[in-house]
Structure 1
Amino acid sequence: MAKEKLVVIGNGMAGVRCVEEIIQHDPDRFSISIFGSEKYLNYNRILLSSVLQGNSSIEHLTIRQSDWYARNHINVFTNETVMDIDIARNTIHTNKNRIVPFDKLIIATGSTPIVPSLPGGSKEGILKFRTIEDCRQIMNASEKGRTAAVIGGGLLGLEAAQGLIQLGMDVHVVHNAERIMNKQLDDKAAKLLQNLLEAQGMNFLLKRETGRFEGKERVEKLIFTDGLELEADLVIIAAGVTPNSKLAKSCGLKTNRGILVNDFMQTSNSAIYAVGECAEHRGKIYGLVKPLYDQCKILAAHICGKDVPPYQGSIISSKLKISGTNVFSAGNLFEKGFTQTMTLYDEDEKTYKKIVYKHNKIAGFLLVGDLNSHVRLMDMMARKKKFSDEEKLFLLNSSREEYPISSMAYTGIVCSCNSVTKKAIIEAVSANGLETAEEVKNCTKASGTCGGCKPLVEELLSYIKSDEFHDGIEPGTLCSCTNLSEEEVIEEIQLRGLINVTEVFAVLGWRNQNGCRVCVPALHYILRMAVPGYEGDGQSIFYKDTHNAVKEEDGTFTIIPQIYGGEVSGGLLKKIGEAAEQYSIPEIALSHDGRILLKGIMQENLTAIWDILNTKLIPIPFDNAVSVLLQADFKGCGCTRDSSRNMAERLQGKSEYLLLPNRLEIGIAACVHGKNSMAVHDIEVKVQGQGWEIYIGGTGGSQLRGELLAIASTEEETEEMLCSLVQYFRESARYQETLKEWADRMGIIHLREVVFDLDLRNILLRRLEKDSAGSRRRLPVTEREPVYINRRI
């Protein structure tokens, strides 16, 4: 079978990362050609400022050497620019009169520096800072000059200015806003940073607009619009970038500021994709590496025909790469409405921390001076964790631990650019005897892109080598409050007959008498599963099917209407609108799996809102519930959906009151036409002839398609297998362990043995039915038998 022809326009970080991901998915699918306008092979543009500052060299920037292209049979054309895309003929035309056909095309043309069109702008000594050649020219020019002006007080401008200082120049930063890094920092943080940089020799001219440049052949001075003059024999333009969308626009693709793409990075022509700084997704253009790599992962899976969840956008974060300064900013710091801001300023330590909450979840944060908590805060923001006021104060206080990373969860991301977890690094160090951050980078890619996480990698290495390190990956301790693993905690609870969290802390010798954010919710879940009649932490309240809610940590309540198969009626939407208007419900959220969450409800309004809705509700927290989704209709498909819809409703009904260690999504194809196009879920059910295929573990990490678990011949057998699998997950998974992680730990062979064994399956089904019924009412201790969990059957 002939390979499809894939052409990639752009040999930069986004374009080559797409190719890397594609090769991982399907190395034999495409014949690949890559075109790059620069004469260099793929290199790390982010580290150019480090070269300027003397912390790296141009030779160390290269990411992919020529042997990588050859080994993967990739045709690479450097110093060759694509001039035209012929959509009618599916060909591209280059400046060297090369015509290349394609079946699929990826546009990764990046962006171009914004250069103000000002009088005198063509004089010698006025340079951009974007490419290796720009970097070389700046270093050469610095040998001839004494005074430099950098136009732009953002991340790139400040990093360039620091590089010029290291090259021995007197440097002035010219910025048109009232504060430096005004898109990332507030007034306090910007002033702290400015003071730090001024102490290093950097000068600032704020609220200044350049009017023209003067000099003979070479620039000699800047004249500002207010008449002020600044002498400079070198000027660096770092005033922002604009997407390179001209090529796409000229061939008829839809563009706005950038090339318009859908949630799978496709342009208005489905055979053509766009990624990176040239692409505009839902009105946003991302210029940072983490969002670009997120996009590459989605694009690669989709172009290879894999099931993949749609790209939802990324959290933007920024870290200033200047030695002696610690500045990190993430999320939305300036949003208005339903927000709460908490700040901590230590004048002696010159540290500043600001966290912005929206509906008691972190919306954004910034740190100056002390970055110990930035990875943990990023993880909490990504998981949309809710916080009580007491927990907010705890987060605000700077960590004084020698190794702050010791309290970070194993699944926490150390390197956000390459999604490398703490667990992955510990495993790599243990298995390969790694000693240095460079060895960790070569083995795991952590710190291999922007380098911002290198201090964290070094801290983790020091922690692993220290006497304090006693963390095991398998089975691992429950948290830093105890030396016991989760399995050992469960065994002690059952052997000693412990019935509440307080007893666990006292009897099992907890270091922290109040527990921590990791162990407290885990213990509530374990006790609810293992102790008959345990009522938990009071988060779920239940009176009857139509009168229940989930209590949040801020004292408000969330109401979750039950929706079967992800389908909601117009009547329910009307009732929700009526309740929201009458009782000013502050937030109505739509989750990605189709659930409607009515949030921030005061206790005194619960009964009235229940009466208005008059529909079945779910008293289970969203993050620990089962969702059963029905795949949408397909164009031109006349198949009946009744069988799939009925199965989805029955499964949701059997699992709707069950508390799980982690959220679980089950997707059901409406008919045989949908079996190859379903969005990815933890468990997928697909029609196959007269039977049903069950796939498991499709949303974990880079694995976008699940593994075949079983083929059931009837709907009844399918439902039994699914329900027994759900119950086994409840009984044997660790708290917050995803289904993919659990399935990998248990092994697909063992899970097949469980669902195919009729006796075991029936035991699990009886337990599921009993637990579901028990969740609807308070049961005396004598009415339930203990359920022994975290043990393989």
Structure 2
Amino acid sequence: MRPRHPDTSAPNSDAPLVIVGNGMAGHRLVEALLKQAAPPRHIVVIGEERSPAYNRILLSPLLAGEMEANALTLRNADWYAEQGVTLMLGERVEHIHRERQQLTTSAGHTLGYGQLVLATGSRPAMPPLPGLDLEGVYAFRDLDDAAALTKAAAKGGNAVVIGGGLLGLEAAEGLRKRGMGVTLIQRDDRLMNRQLDDTAAGMLEVELTGRGLGVITNGHIAELADDRQGRVAGVRLEDGTWLPATCVVVAIGIAPNAELGRQAGLGVERAIVVDDHLATSDPAIFALGECCQFDSNLYGLVEPIWRQVEVLAAHLCSAVEDEPVAGYVESPTATKLKISGVSLYAFGPTDADEHHDVLVYHDPDQGEYRRLLLRDGRLEGAVLYGDTSMGPWYFAQALAGRDLTLCRSALLLGAADADALLDSSQSPDSTNRPVKEAA
């Protein structure tokens, strides 16, 4: 449910716009605000991490030893100063005093705000398993996690990674490249079950096991066992399988950091509830990115969050009340990933139902796979593995709701072939012309 609140007068222009969170979303908002015709006079950014904003997506190649930590930095501290933005790092906002429009930090600072943006992101989701508090059990979410895992990998030995999604796969590959023996445990029956169908997931598993990575699907964990000295010694599955490990990484997903909003008495369900201008139940407070919830949706991909940033930046800088800024609207997104050197592209439903027309191209020797799901001639979903060059074209057709019946025979061959058939069908002399089947 979206928050509802009455309109109020503009905030005190002398008080700063405060952004809580110096992650990718918070930093993107700063850059978007600075590009506005009338940016805020004073912006304060408070980040709990000690480092300025960095590209969290690149943590995987950092762990694999393929790049240095400084290559992840989006902007250094000097840039903020040059832009007139106050940057406070290594501090956590502990309380929001809405009635006074003030907040207090873990360092004891009290700061007033005119408008407040919560971009607190998310934290690693943790399963209810015995042994999670043992030494040697890690998450993989920030620079400190990457540094700790790099140090652990330097000692060699065996690692177990829990979670067969993107983050788990990248963590497993990173540790393998660092020289560890790695086993990945996926609770579902296939890797990346939210993006891939059985065939594509099977191809990915074959690729990864061929590199020496152990993969267990339908893996149900009973406990993380200790060595009787407070360190993890291994993972025991419910079927009795024992996996020795001095390093265990939990990468099963994320949970929104909504506690600050809850403490402040804002509307919170699974995350901080916002309207289409990212406003919370308090009109002076906004939420953005992984910590917010809009129309029951939560966020973990950058594309919708970047669209939220543009809406919020324009809204915060809008001074004409009778010309409101267009609100945020949900739209379908495609997932384009590169998993350990393998390109993937997917959108729409993962599994076909009895009403789908299913088209498949599969070339195991070349490592290529394409599967399309159509309903009444219109494309609803696609999974591409290996060669993903057709992905954006497929996605565009799906967004347009285009009837592809006339080019069905060419859909798996290439955009040019399909477009040619569609164009010829629309030419003046194409009436009743038979469609030539592609070879």
Q: What's the TM-score once normalised by structure 1's chain length?
A: 0.50
- Counterparts of 1:465-544 in structure 2, within 5 Å, are 516=420
**2:386 is the counterpart of 1:365:** no
1:67 match: secondary structure: helix
CA distance in 1, matches of 2:13, 2:216: 61
| CA gap 1:230/1:386 in 2 versus in 1, 3 angstroms | same
1:197-255 residue CA offsets vs partner (Å, 9 max, x unmatched):
11111111111222212223321111122322111111111011110001101111111
Shift of 1:318: 2.8
**2:211 is the counterpart of 1:200:** yes
**2:287 is the counterpart of 1:274:** yes
Contact map agreement 2:156 2:179 (CA 8 A) in 1: no
2:67 match: secondary structure: coil
Contact map agreement 2:158 2:247 (CA 8 A) in 1: yes
**2:162 is the counterpart of 1:148:** no
1:610 match:
none
- Counterparts of 1:69-80 in structure 2, within 5 Å, are 69-80=80-91
1:211 match:
222
CA distance in 1, matches of 2:114, 2:344: 45
Question: Structure 1 or 2: larger helix share?
Answer: 1
1:663 match:
none
1:222 match: secondary structure: strand
Q: 1:133 aligns with which of 124, 144, 149?
A: 144
Q: 1:86 aligns with which of 97, 104, 113?
A: 97
Contact map agreement 1:3 1:29 (CA 8 A) in 2: no
Q: 2:357 aligns with which of 340, 345, 355?
A: 340
- Counterparts of 1:240-259 in structure 2, within 5 Å, are 240-259=253-272
In structure 2, give the amino acid aligned to 1:142.
A
**2:345 is the counterpart of 1:328:** yes
Shift of 1:2: 4.7
1:8 match:
19
CA distance in 2, matches of 1:131, 1:364: 33
Shift of 1:298: 1.0
In structure 2, give the amino acid aligned to 1:55.
E
CA distance in 1, matches of 2:148, 2:394: 39
Contact map agreement 2:39 2:317 (CA 8 A) in 1: no
Contact map agreement 2:279 2:287 (CA 8 A) in 1: yes
Shift of 1:327: 1.8
**2:65 is the counterpart of 1:49:** no
1:479 match:
none
| CA gap 1:335/1:199 in 2 versus in 1, 3 angstroms | closer
1:576 match:
none
- Counterparts of 1:602-751 in structure 2, within 5 Å, are none
CA distance in 1, matches of 2:407, 2:271: 41
1:387 match:
403
In structure 2, give the amino acid aligned to 1:386.
R
In structure 1, give the amino acid aligned to 2:313.
A
| CA gap 1:338/1:6 in 2 versus in 1, 3 angstroms | farther
In structure 2, give the amino acid aligned to 1:370.
D
In structure 2, give the amino acid aligned to 1:89.
R
**2:131 is the counterpart of 1:120:** yes
Contact map agreement 1:110 1:243 (CA 8 A) in 2: yes
| CA gap 1:93/1:156 in 2 versus in 1, 3 angstroms | same
1:183 match:
194
CA distance in 2, matches of 1:33, 1:346: 54
Shift of 1:18: 1.2
1:267 match: secondary structure: coil
- Counterparts of 1:420-431 in structure 2, within 5 Å, are none
CA distance in 1, matches of 2:216, 2:180: 17
Matched residues, number: 415
CA distance in 1, matches of 2:286, 2:357: 40
In structure 2, give the amino acid aligned to 1:354.
R
1:58 match:
69
CA distance in 2, matches of 1:331, 1:19: 32
**2:174 is the counterpart of 1:163:** yes
Q: 2:239 aligns with which of 179, 202, 226?
A: 226
- Counterparts of 1:586-605 in structure 2, within 5 Å, are none
1:377 match: secondary structure: helix
In structure 1, give the amino acid aligned to 2:58.
L
2:42 match: secondary structure: strand
Contact map agreement 1:162 1:322 (CA 8 A) in 2: no
**2:387 is the counterpart of 1:374:** no
1:349 match:
366
1:12-34 residue CA offsets vs partner (Å, 9 max, x unmatched):
01011112111111354331101
Gaps of 5+ in 2: 1-11
In structure 2, give the amino acid aligned to 1:109.
T
1:528 match:
none
Contact map agreement 2:343 2:385 (CA 8 A) in 1: yes
Instruction: Give me the identity figure in percent.
Output: 33
Comparing 270-279 and 317-326, the one that deviates more: 317-326
Contact map agreement 1:153 1:173 (CA 8 A) in 2: yes
1:116 match: secondary structure: coil
| CA gap 1:91/1:320 in 2 versus in 1, 3 angstroms | same
1:25 match: secondary structure: coil
CA distance in 1, matches of 2:376, 2:41: 47
| CA gap 1:319/1:91 in 2 versus in 1, 3 angstroms | same
CA distance in 1, matches of 2:422, 2:41: 45
Contact map agreement 1:3 1:28 (CA 8 A) in 2: no
Q: Which has the higher contact order (CA 8 A, sep 6+)?
A: 2
| CA gap 1:325/1:17 in 2 versus in 1, 3 angstroms | same
CA distance in 2, matches of 1:210, 1:150: 12
| CA gap 1:337/1:267 in 2 versus in 1, 3 angstroms | farther
2:3 match:
none
Shift of 1:4: 5.1
In structure 1, give the amino acid aligned to 2:336.
K
1:39 match: secondary structure: coil
2:250 match:
237
In structure 1, give the amino acid aligned to 2:357.
Q
In structure 1, give the amino acid aligned to 2:296.
G
1:326 match: secondary structure: strand
| CA gap 1:30/1:516 in 2 versus in 1, 3 angstroms | farther
Contact map agreement 2:14 2:114 (CA 8 A) in 1: no
Shift of 1:148: 0.6
2:107 match:
96
Q: 2:308 aligns with which of 271, 274, 295?
A: 295
CA distance in 2, matches of 1:310, 1:339: 34
CA distance in 2, matches of 1:61, 1:518: 44
| CA gap 1:38/1:354 in 2 versus in 1, 3 angstroms | same
Comparing 274-283 and 307-316, the one that deviates more: 307-316
Shift of 1:142: 0.5
| CA gap 1:373/1:245 in 2 versus in 1, 3 angstroms | same
| RMSD (Å) for aligned C-alpha atoms | 2.5
1:239 match: secondary structure: coil
Shift of 1:268: 1.3
1:30 match: secondary structure: coil
**2:412 is the counterpart of 1:396:** yes
1:431-488 residue CA offsets vs partner (Å, 9 max, x unmatched):
xxxxxxxxxxxxxxxxxxxxxxxxxxxxxxxxxxxxxxxxxxxxxxxxxxxxxxxxxx
1:94-149 residue CA offsets vs partner (Å, 9 max, x unmatched):
11111111111111111110122432222211111000000000000011131110
| CA gap 1:271/1:127 in 2 versus in 1, 3 angstroms | same
Shift of 1:322: 3.3
CA distance in 2, matches of 1:68, 1:27: 20
Shift of 1:335: 7.2
Gaps of 5+ in 1: 400-406, 408-511, 525-534, 539-552, 554-793
CA distance in 2, matches of 1:392, 1:286: 34
1:562-583 residue CA offsets vs partner (Å, 9 max, x unmatched):
xxxxxxxxxxxxxxxxxxxxxx
